Amino acid sequence: MAISHISVVSMPVKDQEVAKKFYTDVLGFTVTNDSTFDGGMRWLQLGVEGGETNISLVTWFPNMPAGSQQGIVFEVDDLEATIAHIQEQGVTIPTIETAP
């Protein structure tokens, strides 16, 4: 058996609509699946053009509170331009102090 790639990473969020707007309008993700299952729970999956990995904005895991996902890295072509774009959308990006 050989795993070819990561298909989906679950991102715990408080409000799927607010998170969807951020990921699509600010970061440029596209919705790849938006459907309901098991009594109205929503499967909201997003991806980036040409990427093999998607994220699923989840609210239904009690052991995964909103904001608990840490350590995910998104690759960009131009970091400074991406930061400027995100800041233009009203998002504050914290700076990281590094030791000398």
In this prediction, residues 51-80 reach a mean pLDDT of 86
Domain 7-60 has CATH 3.40.640.10: no
* More confident: 67 or 48: 48
Q: Spell out the domain ranges in the chain.
A: 7-60
Mean pLDDT rounded to a whole number for the chain: 88
Q: Is the pLDDT of residue 74 over 90?
A: no
Across 49-80, b (16+ Cβ under 10 Å) vs e yields eeeeebbbbbbeeeeeeeeeeeeeeeeeeeee
